[in-house]
Structure 1
């Protein structure tokens, strides 16, 4: 992995969401999974504190 990408992923909260969840519940719903904490679900505007 590119060192710059690795640093970014450590420093920034990067959410990902399945397209089916986005279509069914919308982007504002708690369908987002932070890359560093894939077991958690958060809403788009929620901040995850490590």
Structure 2
């Protein structure tokens, strides 16, 4: 009886990790875009 519960918990954990990684990826992309924009503006002026 314990195995399905454990399996479900594991699936939820994996889903959480995937969502966390997606969030991190978005933050990293956002940071890179912001840095490029700042550098472009700095050299433009």
Higher relative contact order (CA 8 A, sep 6+): 1
Q: Given the two structures, how large is their TM-score scaled by the length of structure 1?
A: 0.24
Q: Which has the higher strand share?
A: 1
Q: Which has the higher helix share?
A: 2
| Rg larger in structure | 2
Q: Given the two structures, how large is their TM-score scaled by the length of structure 2?
A: 0.26
